Structure 1
Amino acid sequence: MATTQNTYGAENLTVLEGLDAVRKRPGMYIGTTDTQGLMHCLWEIIDNSVDEALAGFCKHITVTLHRDGSVEVADDGRGIPVDVEPKTKLTGVEVVLTKLHAGAKFGNSSYDASGGLHGVGSSVVNALSSRLDVEVDRDGNTYHMSFHQGHPGVYTDADPEHPSPSSPFKKTRKNRPTELEIIGSVPKKRTGTRIRYWADPEIFNATAQFDYDQLIDRVRQTSFLVPGLTIRVIDENVPETGDASIDTFTETDVPEAQADHAEQVETQDEQAEKQWNAEDPAPLRDAEDERVLEDAEQPDASLVDAPSHRRVEEFCHTGGVEDFVDFLSHGNEISHIWRISGQGHYHEETQAVDDNGDLHAENIERTCDVDIAMRWTDGYDTTLRSFVNVVETPGGGMHVDGFLNAITKQIRKAVEDNARKLKVSLKDSKNRVDRDDILAGLVAVVTVRIAEPQFQGQTKDVLGTAPVKSVVSRLTDKQFSEMITGSKRGFKDQSMRVLEKIVGEMHARIQARKTKEVTRRKNALESASMPPKLSDCQPGNDDVAELFIVEGDSALGTAKAARNSSFQALLPIRGKILNVQKASLAQMLSNKECAAIIQVVGAGSAASFDISQARYNKIIMMTDADVDGAHIRTLLLTLFYRYMRPLIEEGHVYAAVPPLHRIALTGPRKGEYIYTYSDDELAGKLAQLDEQGIGYDADIQRYKGLGEMDADQLADTTMDPRTRMLRRIRMIEAQEANEIFSLLMGDEVPPRRQFIVDNANDFDRSKIDT
């Protein structure tokens, strides 16, 4: 019997021609054949249009999700070349769409910076499509060509207005060099490319589908990174509504009056262009964030026949990465948006293509354009987005490393220079700012534009071009140092607030380490480290344990008698706690009331907060039912929202609802009591009792505070789970409380003044506590 080795010969070798290798191993080119792979194909086509915008030749891109499952990407760039490429004797359209590693991005003449670099994007999408149609506007003509699974040919559609991949297809004949044909005419100055393709179900699995939300995020992101570029997304896959305007809006900040061209004498071509645009006008633009977009406002003729019920979203931003950072920011700002931009040069040895099409090593001077925007907020999450030629690099790379190294170096130096003002002891080696301290609350967008960047793999997750690191580091080091030291005009106050936040993060990290041993429930011996005012509950009931934060010492005695000590703990606070909206993290940690709450909860604070370590299942704010009590609850909510947010997000924070009045019944029902919680409820209840003929004591007791109740009353109305009323605090309520304090008690005076002016007429003098 022959062995495998003996039968192995040249006849066993398989040679895959053209794009067959892509269809055989699609994962090598698009990662997966599920939804992510499907979306990756779309990114490849969109990025080619964006590259035209980066080169300054494209102003509009339109992405259409058709009802038949196909996708179309249209742009007004230069259009794919239609002339014959000398080496292959094929038209430029066929070279781009059928040849791997072919295109205009390997030399330096057509694109200084681009997202598609490997020359495989369009051809890979073509190979993985059951059908692909391309139209190119150039030289006064519209050219058309079709492909089936990467092979050029001709489809015979029963209805040309509704092309289908299931229509009869005939491959290109051997005696015909190309199927590129002229199907119409356009004004000579009109150029552009339209690619429509149907993903091949033989390649993509049944779960693969276009993710509309992911598409919108990517398009919005691109509009930030290419200022002035208008990108429109049309989704025809929405239910029929009969209302052309429903689900149709746009996001733009381009002024309506902005003109694209100076006024000129009309030539014959310009007159033709004007007549063309009369039937197919360019999209109108205005400064509103959202508006209805009429179907008549079209950038090119490819959009005219879309159904009236389609969903349209349009994006255009002129502020670049500053607008992007503003969009990504959440919470209150610690600093304005800081911008770092500039240009650097480096040398790189690369394989260049000579006039004969041969590769040879060449040392080339590269230009690296850097554009960075950043801002610190009062939050603790880090939002850092990085891009190379508008392609996102989720894994970061050399540009991100250069940026972070530079700001870390300058911030440490600034902290040392301002140690006395920031109350940092340089003698203690532990008082050293870590990168995590700096990243807390940082929102930053880091972008670089370079020719022929080196990515790790076709998916381009990480930038590997090493010289970029030093370019970004040098620019950031110089410009950021002027900002963080306050030497640049207008940055002094901001830089100090940033340094205070970062130092506060450092102290919180150190404090979290020191208090780690008390993050879990302590036994009787260890409980001595807890605040002396804490009346803790018995251990062993962690899943039902409740912490009541009680307003004032006067109510504490009654609450002790009213509670169930097996699972209910009490922590009194002395009136209003610190307004953490205006205080720094260090000030908050040094405040006894705030520090006690954080210590008792036992899960840390800010970035080090770990909800799994919380010692109680419910945190209940128990304050008086008056204006002061509401004020204290708002202060507590602001503390929880800013420093222990997961407690609110997961529904562990509650407000006790103590009654405002007690009605003592008389007659046969003497000894019974009815509690009401507002003046309106009291009036309604009294009217109901009168109507039913039930007697009651006319001397209605009104509680001014929790301390006026006896233990039984407090237990029945506020503390006993069987009879009490609690209100769970939702995230939106905590966020509103935070915003109210930002407005009424924050550092910004003008918004507070405007609020007072706007609401002066609604002021009710009777509600003043006199």
Structure 2
Amino acid sequence: MSEEATSYDASNIQVLEGWEAVRKRPGMYIGSTSERGLRQMVFEVADRAVNEVLDGRAASVDVTLTPDGGVCVADDGPGIPIDETGAGPGLESLLTQMQAGTGAGGRHDVTLGFCGVGPAVVNALSQRMTAEVRCGGVRWVQEYARGVAAAPLTEAGVATGSGTTLAFWPDADIFGAAEFSFDGLEERFRELAFLNQGLEISLTDLRRPDESRSVRFRFPGGARDFVAFLDGHAAVSAPMDTIAFEHEDPRMAGIMEVAFRWCSCPEDRVRSFANSRPTVDGTHAEGFRDGMTAAVTAYAREQGLLTATDRDFDADRISKSLTAVVSVKLDRPEFEGSTRGVLGNSEVRDCVGQAVQDHLGRWLKEDPERAAAVIDRIVHGARRD
């Protein structure tokens, strides 16, 4: 290899100014430039509004897909501060500076997507963004283009009520012909409403006037309602009611919400979440399996439903036909890997396992007839295997 080919000096280093780095490599910030990336953009803007509701400062969030290809996210909270304050950034900082978010953190903060990069990145990847803040009887507006303010913050008249409305139009130079998926957004917003009982959120699609649709989510029953939704019509022949409980455990510095029941379907539907993020596995899911196995096996042996020669049940056998939601909210969640799909807090496993064992064990003893139906199904299934 020649000396010319191997030379490397300062002239080889490319320095990107402002938002150029984000616009040049958007996948590093929102995952992709396909529909999945567009969905992430919505989540990054809606994140702040959802937390306003969960913190008790707003009543609802409304997300609208507009006919001109934009997205509008509105809440009825106190309104983003228009100036810098000791409590957090002002409007322009929030929308033009990376990660200028104001989330409380820990169990009280919900992150809708996997990135958490904030609305400023959405602004940088949008050909246009508008902000309307209603507070103190005044309506303030400002417009942005590709990450920077296109005009100063302007007083635009009298405001009725309070709140914030952010709208953005993704840059076609980056996203091409990709479109927002109503179904993908609907699934995540529904999931959030199940996992956070105080949240009310609506999604409206106005892109095609002859096919407009709208949904609104609010589930006071939390995880119990989530299990019923996952079951659908299968719950009609369920051998048991849903067991659901919430339990705070200082050992894991957090709270768990668990709901489960067996039904007639052969497959299992076990969903786990950590701080409202979907997880593929982790110590909370392992603890759930531990607790179920311990409670069912102990009861079966106490009742003579397992003989001395029968092996203990395993978690796979017990989970057949099981529908469950296992959600933990922790002050200091520790995830494995950048995608945060696996929870790693070691103490969570024992905490969830013990709570599930206690609650299921109590139910088995209090309702022997239904308990026998559940155990009989597991016993016969295990012997067939």
Match of 1:96 among 80, 94, 97: 94
C-alpha contact (below 8 Å) 2:66/2:205 kept by paired residues: yes
User: Is 1:413–2:295 an aligned residue pair?
Assistant: no
Taking the aligned partners of 2:336 and 2:18, their CA distance within structure 1 comes to 24
Change in 2 beyond 3 A, CA 1:107/1:338: closer
How far is the alpha carbon of 1:318 from its aligned partner?
Answer: 1.6
Correspondence for 2:155 among 168, 179, 182: 182
Greater percentage in helix: 2
Give the AA of the match of 2:383: H
SS at match of 2:166: strand
Decide which of 171, 177, 184 is 1:214's aligned counterpart: 184
Give the conservation status (yes or no) of the 8 Å contact 2:283–2:344.
yes
The equivalent residue for 1:505 is 381
Tell me, yes or no, if structure 1 residue 396 matches structure 2 residue 369: no
Q: How far, CA to CA, are the matches of 1:64 and 1:80 in structure 2?
A: 19
Change beyond 3 A, Cα 1:447–1:91: closer
Paired residue for 1:53?
A: 53
Q: Secondary structure at the match of 2:127?
A: strand
Q: Partners of 1:64 and 1:123 in 2: how far apart?
A: 20
Extract unaligned runs of 5+ from structure 1.
Answer: 155-178, 241-246, 248-309, 347-365, 510-770
Classify the secondary structure of the residue corresponding to 1:203. helix
Distance 1:506 1:327, change over 3 A: same
The share of aligned pairs that are identical, in percent, is 34
CA–CA separation in structure 2 for the residues paired with 1:114 and 1:461: 15
Give a deviation string over 1:550-573, Cα, whole Å, max 9, x none: xxxxxxxxxxxxxxxxxxxxxxxx
> Partners in 2 of 1:127 and 1:469 — Cα distance?
41
Q: Following TM superposition, by how much is the alpha carbon of 1:20 offset from its aligned partner in structure 2, in angstroms?
A: 2.7
| Matched residue, 1:323 | 225
Query: 1:194 pairs with 145, 153, 165, which one?
Result: 165
Structure 1 residues 172-196: Cα deviation after superposition (integer angstroms, max 9, x where no partner) = xxxxxxx223223325xx3322111
Matched residues in 2 for 1:76 and 1:457: separation?
A: 36
Counterpart contact for 1:343–1:368, Cα < 8 Å: yes
Q: Taking structure 1 as reference, are residues 86 and 417 closer, same or farther at Cα in structure 2, changes over 3 Å only?
A: closer
Which whole-Å CA distance do the structure 2 matches of 1:59 and 1:375 have between them? 32
Q: How far apart are residue 231 of structure 1 and its match?
A: 1.9
Distance change >3 Å, CA 481–CA 29, structure 1 → 2: farther
Cα distance 1:433–1:236, how it changes in 2: closer, same or farther (>3 A)?
A: same
Which one of the candidate residues 200, 205, 213 is aligned to 1:230?
A: 200
Matched, 1:474 2:379: no
SS of the equivalent of 1:198 reads strand
1:382 to 246, 255, 268: 268
- Structure 1 CA distance for aligned equivalents of residues 173 and 268 of structure 2: 41
The ranges of structure 1 where at least 4 consecutive aligned residues each deviate by more than 6 angstroms after the TM superposition are: none
Q: Which amino acid aligns with 1:402?
A: G
Structure 1 residues 141 and 504, CA gap change in structure 2 (3 angstroms)? farther
Matched residue type, 2:169: W
Q: 1:425 aligns with which of 307, 311, 334?
A: 307
Aligned to 2:132: 135
Any unmatched runs of 5+ in structure 2? none
**Is the alpha carbon distance of 1:58 and 1:85 closer, same or farther for their aligned partners in structure 2, counting shifts above 3 Å?**
closer
CA distance in 1, matches of 2:5, 2:103: 45
Partner of 1:465 in structure 2?
345
| Aligned partner of residue 172 in structure 2, secondary structure | coil
Q: Which residue of 1 aligns with 2:174?
A: 203
Match of 1:494 in 2: 370
Residues 86 and 345 of structure 1: CA distance in aligned 2, closer, same or farther (over 3 Å): closer
Deviation at 1:16, TM superposition (A): 2.9
CA distance in structure 2 between the partners assigned to 1:481 and 1:19 by the alignment: 56
Q: Report the secondary structure of 1:69's partner residue.
A: coil
SS at match of 1:501: helix
Please give the secondary structure, in 1, of the residue aligned with 2:47: helix
Determine if contact 1:35/1:210 at 8 Å carries over to the other structure. Answer: yes
Structure 1 residues 602-639: Cα deviation after superposition (integer angstroms, max 9, x where no partner)? xxxxxxxxxxxxxxxxxxxxxxxxxxxxxxxxxxxxxx
Shift, 1:95, TM fit: 2.2
Query: Could you say what secondary structure the match of 1:213 adopts?
Result: helix
Kept in 2, the 8 Å contact 1:49–1:61? The answer is: yes
CA distance in 1, matches of 2:93, 2:350: 38
Measured after TM superposition, the shift of residue 85 of structure 1 is 5.0
**Aligned-partner Cα distance in 1 for 2:225–2:119:** 31
Q: Distance in 1 between matches of 2:165 and 2:176?
A: 26
Question: For 1:315-714, what aligned pairs fall within 5 Å after superposition?
Answer: 315-329=217-231, 330-331=233-234, 332-346=237-251, 367-393=253-279, 395-418=280-303, 420=304, 422=305, 424-428=306-310, 431-456=311-336, 459-484=339-364, 486=365, 489=366, 491-509=367-385
Q: Which residue is 1:522 aligned to? A: none
Give the one of 107, 112, 120 matched to 2:108. Answer: 112
Q: 1:223 to 1:11 in 2, by over 3 A?
A: same
Q: Please, which of 302, 314, 329 is the counterpart of residue 216 of structure 2?
A: 314
Change in CA separation of 1:388 and 1:63 when aligned onto 2, cut-off 3 Å: same
Cα pair distance change 1:457/1:66, threshold 3 Å: farther
1:694-736 C-alpha deviation (Å, 9 max, x unpaired):
xxxxxxxxxxxxxxxxxxxxxxxxxxxxxxxxxxxxxxxxxxx
On the 8 A contact 2:200/2:217 being kept in 1, the answer is: yes
CA shift, 1:228, in A, is: 4.4
RMSD: 2.7
Higher Rg of the two aligned structures: 1
Aligned-partner SS, 1:94: helix
Measured after TM superposition, the shift of residue 456 of structure 1 is: 4.5
Residues 399 and 126 of structure 1: is their aligned pair in 2 closer, same or farther, counting only changes over 3 Å? farther
User: Contact 2:224–2:259 (CA<8 Å) still a contact in 1?
Assistant: yes
Equivalent position of 1:659 in the other structure: none
Q: Partners of 1:219 and 1:334 in 2: how far apart?
A: 30
Secondary structure of 1:28's partner?
Answer: helix
SS of 1:474 mapped into structure 2 = helix
Could you say if the C-alpha distance between residues 494 and 145 of structure 1 is closer, same or farther in structure 2, counting changes exceeding 3 Å? farther
CA drift of 1:118 comes to 6.5
Residues 70-85 of structure 1 mapped to structure 2, 5 A cutoff: 70-85=70-85
Paired with 1:456 and 1:151, the residues of 2 have a C-alpha distance of 35
* Greater RCO structure (CA 8 Å; 6+ sep): 2
* Pairs aligned (count): 380
SS in 2 for 1:41: helix
Partner Cα distance (2:348, 2:157) in 1: 46
Distance 2:334 2:118 in 1: 16
Change (3 A) 1:92 1:195: same
* Offset at residue 453 of structure 1 (A): 2.8
> Which whole-Å deviations, capped at 9, do the CAs of 1:373-414 have from their partners, x for residues lacking one?
111102111111222333322x13222222222212222222
* Structure number having the greater strand percentage: 2
**Structure 1: how far apart are the matches of 2:282 and 2:225?**
23
What is the letter of the counterpart of residue 135 of structure 2? R
- Change in Cα spacing, 1:345 to 1:182, as seen in structure 2 (3 Å) is farther
Q: Verify the 8 A CA contact 1:100 1:119 in the aligned structure 2.
A: no
- The alpha-carbon deviation at position 107 of structure 1 amounts to 6.0
